């Protein structure tokens, strides 16, 4: 049933909260905006950055873009590597890859940064396609990133695809392409958020993914 597995990055494969929040704080300081409690910035992780700056700080489109520019200034040099893999990632990617599944990365993080992160953690070779957002903002919504990934992989039938992510944007992006989805609870979303978005399955831990796929493929 599922032969192609698409993965989100932040909150699904890596705990990127430290680097992302440090980058947000850097941008807010540069914009002379008050910096809230760090835990209140966690909802930033997952959605497109420009959307989050606009939503949480009520910035104009121009100021939101300037905040993104400052964010990337810090992130590209330091924040990128203030990051760590979740414990189950390498065993799960190894098992899925060994069983013949096609693995694809589909992240709202700019593609150039996603490649660097996968290389840093030495997991790039597990993925046949690495798809991310564009730096110019033209491709930032999760549905658009998934479309980009499917085009790169030359996939037109999504009935055998499964999207794995931790936020509603991953689930909604999958639904936009008639694709089943897995919401994971160890990331930055909640069970309520994932369920309301319509996740096909919800898992407590990534280690349960291979058995779920095997069960559905029997």
- Chain centre to alpha carbon of residue 76: 17
37 catalytic per annotation: no
Cβ atoms of 189 and 11 closer than 8 Å: yes
Angle between helices 209-217 and 89-98 (to 10 degrees): 30
Among candidate residues 8, 10, 15, 144, the one labeled active-site is: 8
Query: Which residues are identified as catalytic?
Result: 8
């Amino acid at each position: 049933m599922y032969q192609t597995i698409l993965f989100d990055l932040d909150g699904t494969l890596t705990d990127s909260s430290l680097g992302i929040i440090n980058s947000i704080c850097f941008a807010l300081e540069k914009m002379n905006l008050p910096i809230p409690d760090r835990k209140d910035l966690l909802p930033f992780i997952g959605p497109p950055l420009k959307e989050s700056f606009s939503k949480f700080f009520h910035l104009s489109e121009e100021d939101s873009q300037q905040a993104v520019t400052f964010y990337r200034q810090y992130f590209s040099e330091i924040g990128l590597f203030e990051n760590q893999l979740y414990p189950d990632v390498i065993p799960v990617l190894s098992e899925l890859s060994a069983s013949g599944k096609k693995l694809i990365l589909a992240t709202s993080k700019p593609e150039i940064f996603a490649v660097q992160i996968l290389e840093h953690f030495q997991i790039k070779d597990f993925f046949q396609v690495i798809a991310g957002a564009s730096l110019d903002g033209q491709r930032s919504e999760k549905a658009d990133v998934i479309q980009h990934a499917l085009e790169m992989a030359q996939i037109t039938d999504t009935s055998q695809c499964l999207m794995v992510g931790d936020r509603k944007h991953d689930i909604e992006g999958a639904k936009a392409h008639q694709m089943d989805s897995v919401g994971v609870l160890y990331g930055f979303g909640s069970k309520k958020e994932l369920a309301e978005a319509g996740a096909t399955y919800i898992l407590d831990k990534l280690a349960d993914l291979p058995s779920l796929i095997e069960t559905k493929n029997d």
